[in-house]
Structure 1
Amino acid sequence: MQSQSKEYWFGLPTKLLWGFIAIAIFMSGDGFEMAFLSRHITDMGFSPAQSAMVFTVYGLAAALAAWASGVVAEIITPQRAMLIGFVLWIVMHALFMALGLGMRNYPLMLLFYGIRGLAYPLFIYSFMLLLVQVLPRERLAAATGWFWAMYSVGIGVVGSYLPSLIIPGMGETGTLWFAIAWVACGGILAFFSLRNVEVDRSRMNLPLRDKMTELSRAVTILFVNRDVFYACLIRIINTLSLFGFAVIMPLLFVDRLGFSISEWLQIWAVFFFVTIFTNIFWGITGEVIGWIRQVRWFGCLGMAVSSLAFYYVPLWFGHNYWMAMVPAVMLGIFVAAFVPMTAVFPTLEPNHKGAAVSIYNLSAGLSNFVAPAIASALLPFFDIVGVVWAYTGLYLFAGVLTFIIRVPQPKRVRQRTPTAEPTRQE
């Protein structure tokens, strides 16, 4: 038997190392447009509300794909689900660029960017189910900390910082086309590195009726398990600022405060750069201080304060590049404190892990939808400040929910200890 030190490196399962790297590369390409596409669309002559609607439709599609991905991956295997997501992304992005943006056709922009929203959740959340299937439960929080670290490396650091360097040379349109190369590399790497990983194939040969029953469980579980429902709400709120600020903050930083698009992208990249380390830190720390306690005091409360700071600090100091970095760092520290939520869902429903992971994925996808939807609804009436305060209030509401939810968290398994006694956590 291999030693624990060889199987895990600071919580990272070494046998899945290349899968984690594939997530980072794939999300790099997916994140190229995240912090500048909204402004690019308005520069083409569309209104800020129309731009926000593009992201809203995208987020709704991502939510649907995220919801289905857990059960779909369980039925057809995570590896096959990841392959479908990879191919779908390439095709829809090319159509979005050529027929949507290329022809300045707003309905086609909504159509193809919306369909592309189905792709990345299917790819990354199928990998998350693979982690749930192959890793022991007491190792899951730390491993998912690494998962979100790789996500941040991709969508935030490379996905934001690299465009800030190449936009001056390639232009925004060329940069968007260049994203295909990154996604292709990540998808191919995942295909070859994960194809021989042993996963649960017990549901592959189920009759169609049983498969549909399992898929429906990804909805009904919300009504029969109260704690899963509360966990769903908390996870939706988790990344509201992440997805919402990418839409509204370029309007503040670039259009009103005079930052260049490259400066804004670098500030956004710093936020994600910080989460590389804080995702790993909070994944490990949550196993020590308690999953829900960490989410309550560092996730919910920390994000409420950080969201306000992200708006008011640059407003007070104006075009001050280094002061604008301060709330970006704060946001990167506290958004990662929600990392243990990945382990919470399958723990709350251990007999139906695929359905539980689907609810987690649905929550993450709904966050991608709800954040720009709130922005789209409030911007015309309350401007950017109204959106920021709405996010802040929801973080405080999530903090209240953490006093209601009850999670049986396993104790960390020590070496040579065959079992772990679960402890009930408030």
Structure 2
Amino acid sequence: MNAVPPTATPPAPSPLARLLDRVGLPAPLALGYLGLLIFMIGDGIESGFIAPFIAANGAGGDIRASYVVTAYGVTVMLASWLSGALSQLWGPRRVMITGLVIWLVFHTAFLGVAVVGENYPLMLLFYGLRGFGYPMFAFGFLVWITAVAPNARMGAAVGWFYFAFTGGLPTLGALVASFTNPILGHYGTLWLSLGVIALGGLICLSVRERTGYTRLAAPGVRPLQSLMSSMSIAWQNPRVGLGTLVRVINTAPMFGMLVLFPTIFADRIGFGEGRWLLLVSTIFGTNIFFNLIFGVVSDRLGWRTTIFWFGAVGCSVTTLLLYFVPVAAGADYYWLALIVGAMYGATLAGFVPISALLPSMAPENRGGAVALLNFGAGAATFVGPAVVSLLLGPAGPGGVVVTFAVLYVIAAVMTRFLTVPGESAGAAQPTGRAEEPGTVRVPAGESG
């Protein structure tokens, strides 16, 4: 009689893995978060000076430099959508490799050919094409996270993503540039960013978790079908389309205020450029930490509840405070501006769970939901400044700010309808099924 071999017992998680899982950071992807942070630092190094650098090195003025930045914004928006759609077909890791290569190749071409030759058409081409790089890398990793993280800790896992993302762009990236620009100059600092990007990319791609190495879509799904489904999900599952609009409103006022506020705060109120930049650093520095805090809190309180109260309602209030308090108090009460700026940065992070909620609303097509979510993030870069352009003349800055506050109220109303399958709009948001640390949940892929 043949002996039956004993069943192998899986190895127990290490103490470090248990600690990471406890704080909501998926242990198999931990190194990827570090690599993402370094990558985004490299991408954010240029954030404080790229427009004037382009204007002074071949563009021939601020207006033509803005066209270069606009071309970049268009490709960022497109790539933000493609990152989710292509991750379904290729697997997230391959999308990330593609984004890394695009960034390195076209940044080298931009600096080594277009800038050296002060060639404006090549600036438009190379810098614009480089815009495909960081969204494919970063948002490809976000798809990987949503495919692996246990549902009960998805909010925290996404919070860690945005902690790394915004920690690099623009916060630590701009800080690095503040030290290197006086030593290397703008041109040398831009070459430095190439090395930082390469380092972050190599670290992130050293992750060995296998889900990200393979396609997430069902075997029968064809490329065109996958790309179309990542947009058609907006009307096939209207809740996902509604969630995309919430994602647009999330950061559209922020981008609009970055266009509207510099002159008002620095000149009209009298803070000066230095204190205005410190205020910006306060807003985004606070936002970094609250991205993580609200990611963890949302897994306990509920994703939709967190978005509604802390994100949409909170931002509606703090948007008004951020403008009207400094205008009323004046330059002598700068500390009040810092307080309300920190409050806006904190409430802005209340939207973090949207990146966990939308994929859970479409479990049969997580990649498509993430693709649409990322498209909303890219669209916000245009919607905010467009509102400023349209309303600043007839309504003035106060009217623009009130409009932004109203948009957040509209987002709050829409959030009440963002329900996961099996949940009614009035029911409490489930925080997900508890899973054991280390459990890997492979998404079902797209429906054929």
Q: 1:416 to 1:20 in 2, by over 3 A?
A: closer
Q: Which residue of 1 aligns with 2:282?
A: 270
Measure, in 1, the Cα distance between the counterparts of 2:92 and 2:117: 36
- Compare 53-62 and 194-203 and name the one that shifted more: 194-203
Do the aligned residues in 2 keep the contact of 1:35 with 1:265 (CA within 8 Å)? no
TM-score by length of 1: 0.85
Shift of residue 363 of structure 1? 1.4
Q: Tell me the alpha carbon deviations over residues 56-96 of structure 1, each in whole angstroms, 9 at most, x when there is no partner.
A: 43332212111111121221121111111112112223344
Structure 1: gaps spanning 5 or more residues: 419-426
Q: 1:406 to 1:141 in 2, by over 3 A?
A: same
Q: 1:252 to 1:18 in 2, by over 3 A?
A: farther
Match of 1:156 among 152, 160, 170: 170
Aligned residues: 415
Shift of residue 235 of structure 1? 0.6
Matched, 1:239 2:239: no
Structure 2: gaps spanning 5 or more residues: 1-11, 424-428, 440-448
Q: Which residue of 2 aligns with 1:46?
A: 61
Measure, in 1, the Cα distance between the counterparts of 2:432 and 2:384: 35
Measure, in 1, the Cα distance between the counterparts of 2:431 and 2:238: 23
- Compare 333-342 and 269-278 and name the one that shifted more: 269-278
Q: 1:245 to 1:161 in 2, by over 3 A?
A: farther
Q: Which residue of 2 aligns with 1:421?
A: none
Q: Which residue of 2 aligns with 1:32?
A: 45
- Compare 216-225 and 7-16 and name the one that shifted more: 7-16
Q: Which residue of 2 aligns with 1:424?
A: none
Question: After superposition, where does 1:130-149 map in structure 2 within 5 Å?
Answer: 130-149=144-163
Q: Which residue of 1 aligns with 2:223?
A: 211
Q: Which residue of 1 aligns with 2:293?
A: 281
Shift of residue 201 of structure 1? 2.4
Measure, in 2, the Cα distance between the counterparts of 1:104 and 1:387: 38
Q: Tell me the alpha carbon deviations over residues 284-325 of structure 1, each in whole angstroms, 9 at most, x when there is no partner.
A: 211222211221121112222323333344444237654442
Q: Which residue of 1 aligns with 2:197?
A: 183
Cα RMSD after superposing both structures: 3.2
Aligned residue identity for 2:309: W
Q: Which residue of 2 aligns with 1:353?
A: 366
Q: Which residue of 2 aligns with 1:423?
A: none
Aligned residue identity for 1:297: W
Do the aligned residues in 1 keep the contact of 2:91 with 2:215 (CA within 8 Å)? no
Do the aligned residues in 2 keep the contact of 1:164 with 1:266 (CA within 8 Å)? no
Measure, in 2, the Cα distance between the counterparts of 1:134 and 1:12: 11
Measure, in 2, the Cα distance between the counterparts of 1:205 and 1:291: 28
Do the aligned residues in 1 keep the contact of 2:29 with 2:209 (CA within 8 Å)? no
Measure, in 2, the Cα distance between the counterparts of 1:362 and 1:229: 11
Measure, in 2, the Cα distance between the counterparts of 1:42 and 1:313: 35
Matched, 1:411 2:431: yes
- Compare 23-32 and 402-411 and name the one that shifted more: 402-411
Match of 1:399 among 387, 392, 412: 412
Measure, in 2, the Cα distance between the counterparts of 1:228 and 1:415: 25
Q: Which residue of 1 aligns with 2:4?
A: none
Aligned residue identity for 2:159: G
Aligned residue identity for 1:144: V
Q: Which residue of 2 aligns with 1:14?
A: 27
Q: Secondary structure at the match of 1:406?
A: coil
Question: After superposition, where does 1:17-416 map in structure 2 within 5 Å?
Answer: 17-38=30-51, 46-47=61-62, 53-97=67-111, 107-192=121-206, 194-199=207-212, 201-202=214-215, 206=219, 210-254=222-266, 263-316=275-328, 317-318=330-331, 322-378=335-391, 385=398, 387-407=400-420, 408=423, 409-414=429-434
Aligned residue identity for 1:2: P
Fraction of identical pairs, as percent = 34
Q: Tell me the alpha carbon deviations over residues 109-154 of structure 1, each in whole angstroms, 9 at most, x when there is no partner.
A: 4433322221111011110111112222222111001111111211
Measure, in 2, the Cα distance between the counterparts of 1:104 and 1:306: 43
Shift of residue 219 of structure 1? 0.9
Measure, in 1, the Cα distance between the counterparts of 2:372 and 2:241: 9
Measure, in 2, the Cα distance between the counterparts of 1:326 and 1:106: 42
Structure of greater Rg:
2
Do the aligned residues in 2 keep the contact of 1:132 with 1:140 (CA within 8 Å)? yes
